[in-house]
Chains A and B, each alone.
Chain A
């Protein structure tokens, strides 16, 4: 818990540092549809303010930490199906093997994914989605795109989302009420995980989220190897 908080804190902090110099350029080059995006963003913000965020805060308030962790682990385990698929598509066989092992041990020893036994056993996660796969194959991200309800994306990542939904096991649940409950719970879980992270947002919230998103995607696609351009007098 502490390490994951630290990790997200460090990631956020490092993103923040990089972002100080970045936004002006990003606005023009990577966000040509800013006006449109901002209007979608304000719609999303309204939905979030009056529905999603209060729901997530309530969920966090009433649910014991251990149960919250279990729910997060459960959905992380389900997400490993997509991670496996995309690692294979990126020919990362070692990561795919590890992801398969994670999925196997967490689904059995980890009681259907409620407990993440794989991480302490030394089998680390390798998260990949189809947008990253396209990026890995060399497909450019295209302009930044704010999607209604789905949040920040790019043209490439937005077009990739249906593929991610196809490999999402929740979509294969035949019992409709169960499936919808899982979708709803995952949404609340995802939002509640962002509650802590959003506390560091400052200044123009739209620009902050856009830049953080774009930087993070680049970081993910390059598996952590980010090109840093230093000024000549640095």
Chain B
């Protein structure tokens, strides 16, 4: 009798975690590249690179509420070039959030993609494989200390708002005298229907948070997909009051892709015009991707970058908070292999 009770207790203890884990999904993407980058860090040597590999867990949790479900997601970078589990920092810590979703929309808190990235920047960046050359003037990519609300899809129309509250003290040199609880906020809207997509975002960052000056970012993006062709355009205007990174930086991107079965050909033009740095330069990218099955791909991408951009690319700061994340600029040839699970 006693034995069977113990057995029952043991069985109960073992089943409980299994039930709790039932809705969690372990996922990841391992991406290794071989890149030849002509940058100040790497003068044309071939290098085995990690192309932002990541591993994560996500899932839904029953809250016992009618029409509302809890969810969570944790995702971190796992470096495929040297095996390190990455720590904090924009490119390393990726996502850590909990939320609740229902017919009313979704609310979440933690470290997450900003609506600005999801609905404007990613329109021009998603689909490119090489980590550095593909990331260009992506501001506020993922933010920590954030709460956000995303509306439900209303016939293709959606709005979102996010507030970043990092508890950063005010009165930084040259900063805002008022100590606001909210260090930054982002409001955005998007509309998508019949292959067309339009996204609009405004983001305001307090000087104390980013350091130096108040920082406003306006982004707009559009894409259109018809059959095998996709074209897109993105415009972003960043303005800062004191201008450690320039008073006014305008980024314009136009690109497209052509899908032939499992083969994808793509090209993109980017222009960055910075008034303070007096810089106006272009980046050209072309890429070929071959999907191997549903969960693997190989690619070859080439980026040609004007020398002017190489110079100013290294002056942008605050990468740790996801602002002015330019990556390593320079002419880059990248070949890579990616497996998802």
Contacts and interface: CB of A to CB of B under 8 A. Distances in A.
A101 B261 CA distance: 12
A94 B335 CA distance: 23
A108 B335 contact: yes
A109 B335 contact: yes
B258 interface: yes
Contact of B263 (A93, A108, A109, A123): A123
B292 interface: yes
A108 B34 CA distance: 10
Contacts of A98: 260, 263
B265 A97 contact: yes
Contacts of B263: 97-98, 101, 123
B290 interface: yes
5 contacts: A101-B265, A101-B288, A105-B298, A109-B300, A109-B335
Given A101-B263, A104-B300, 15 more contacts: A93-B258, A94-B260, A97-B258, A98-B263, A100-B265, A101-B260, A105-B288, A108-B300, A108-B335, A109-B335, A121-B292, A122-B261, A122-B262, A122-B290, A123-B290
Nearest to A95: B260
Interface in A61-108: 93-94, 97-98, 100-101, 104-105, 108
Interface string B269-302: 0000000000000000000101010000010100
**Interface class of chain A by DSSP:** helix
B37 to A, nearest CB: 15
Interface of A: 93-94, 97-98, 100-101, 104-105, 108-109, 121-123
Contacts of A104: 288, 300
A30 to B, nearest CB: 37
Contacts of A105: 288, 290, 298, 300
Nearest to A123: B263
A101 B288 CA distance: 6
A105 B265 CA distance: 12
A108 B262 CA distance: 18
A75 B335 CA distance: 22
A100 B286 CA distance: 12
A16 B186 CA distance: 73
A81 to B, nearest CB: 15
B262 A109 contact: no
A73 B335 CA distance: 20
Nearest to B337: A109
Contacts of B258: 93, 97
A87 to B, nearest CB: 12
Nearest to B261: A122
Contacts of A109: 298, 300, 335
Contacts of B265: 97, 100-101
B290 A121 contact: yes
A105 B292 CA distance: 13
A108 B300 CA distance: 8
**Which 8 residue pairs spanning A and B have beta carbons closest together?**
A104-B288, A101-B263, A108-B335, A104-B300, A97-B260, A101-B288, A108-B300, A97-B265
Interface centre among B260, B292, B335, by most chain A C-beta atoms within 10 angstroms, is B260
A94 B260 CA distance: 7
A105 B288 CA distance: 8
A105 B291 CA distance: 12
A101 B260 CA distance: 10
Contacts of B335: 108-109
Contacts of A121: 262, 290, 292, 298
A191 B274 CA distance: 59
A162 to B, nearest CB: 29
Interface centre among A104, A105, A121, A123, by most chain B C-beta atoms within 10 angstroms, is A104
Contacts of A101: 260, 263, 265, 288, 290
A65 B301 CA distance: 33
A80 to B, nearest CB: 13
Contact of A100 (B261, B288, B292): B288
Interface in B288-341: 288, 290, 292, 298, 300, 335
Contacts of A97: 258, 260, 263, 265
B289 to A, nearest CB: 9
